[in-house]
Amino acid sequence: MNQIQKKKKKLHKESDSISLWERLKKFLAAKPKKEKPIRPKTFRMRKLGAVTFWLLFSFMFLVVLVTITSDTNSAQSNQGQAQVELNPATKPEAIQFAKGFARDYFTWKSDDEGWEDRQERLSRYLADGLDGQAGLVTEGLEWNSSVQGVHLRQVDEVTDRKAHIIFHVSMQMKKEKETEAISKYFAVPVVYNGSSYGVYELPFITHVVEETDVKIEENRYQTTLTSVKDNTEVENIESFLDTFFSSYVEDSEDQLSYILTDEEYQNGLHGALDFVEVNNAEVYEGKRDNQFIVITEATFKEPELNTAFRAVYKLVVEKKDGHYVVSKLNAEKQIEAISNE
């Protein structure tokens, strides 16, 4: 084969190759592109709703989890505080324990059998190692003792589990034909060890100042409440008080209900007292229109013994449909709230 023929053959092969490539490109170009499926709008809304639901569910779950955890921690904290603050040696159970001890302490007969009985009774209270007679010197003691009364006077905390519980104890002392009535302030040292109460050291005689140091608060409400300026209104309320107290001591519940709406006192006194007179009355403005605070002193009489006494009432009086009613008979709490505003 000569050079010319070889060259022609080569060109023919290249032409066939180009032609095949062109046909392949046309075929690929003619094939339609795959389109994304068209989804209805409701599908997108359902998908959005599902996402929203799970987001809200997750949020609410976290809120509930945090709340439960916080409440649990708060409850545990409050419980811990209560346990720290509450001294078991000052609880009613401790006071009853100490009262029983005081009664047994001052009850004895001055003979061998009596001292043995007293020591056995006291052993239920005394801590191990304390004197069996709890400090009482029995040698040469001739008086017998019986308790007439044991009354709580005060409780002094010593530690978070100890307290001195103080009673006023009245005794009758007897010796042959002699009788003496005496009384003492008696302190009982009480401890709680986690399982039981006990007298942890010898009890002792003490002193308690019974006189109060509380002073009367004269004219207090005149500076904290607003007086009613309408003299006619004040006179009408004062006249109403006569009617009210007369009804309160005499009338039945049905009759009294027209002028007393306080459910706690609707029964009245059913004739237990006689009303004498209203001595004085201070009338102040209430929290709203036609409401009045009334502080009044009235005199009553016990019908059988004909004994008179005075009493102070703090009332909430309201004007309804042209007439007055007492909506609160013992209104000190309401008056304090208005005074402090």
pLDDT digit string, tens, across residues 157-216: 999 999 999 999 999 999 999 999 999 999 999 999 999 999 999 999 999 988 888 888
Which residues, in sequence order, are bridge partners of residue 199?
Answer: 126, 190
Q: What share of the chain is helix, strand, coil (3-state, %, to 5)?
A: 40, 30, 30
pLDDT tier, 25 (very low <50, low <70, confident <90, very high otherwise): low
pLDDT mean over 215-219: 76
Count of beta carbons in the 10 Å neighbourhood of residue 173: 15
pLDDT mean over 11-29: 55
Give pLDDT, residue 231.
95
Q: What angle do CA 137, 139, 140 make, to 5 degrees?
A: 120
Query: For residue 44, is pLDDT > 70?
Result: no
Query: For residue 49, is pLDDT > 80?
Result: no
Greater confidence (275 vs 13) lies with 275
Would you say 247 and 256 are in contact if contact means Cβ atoms under 8 Å apart? yes
HSE (side-chain half, CA atoms, 13 Å) at 132: 8
Give pLDDT, residue 322.
87
pLDDT mean over 129-142: 96
CATH of 90-206, one of 3.40.50.720, 1.10.357.10, 3.10.450.540, 3.30.70.330: 3.10.450.540
Per-residue pLDDT tens digits for 250-290: 999 999 999 999 988 988 998 999 999 999 999 999 999 99
Would you say 263 and 236 are in contact if contact means Cβ atoms under 8 Å apart? no
Instruction: Give the residue extent of every domain in the chain.
Output: 90-206, 221-339
Q: In the CATH scheme, what is the code of domain 221-339?
A: 3.10.450.540
Give pLDDT, residue 22.
65
> Which range, of 65-79, 148-162, 169-183, averages the lowest pLDDT?
65-79
Give the tokens for residue 291: 């409401």
Give pLDDT, residue 11.
47
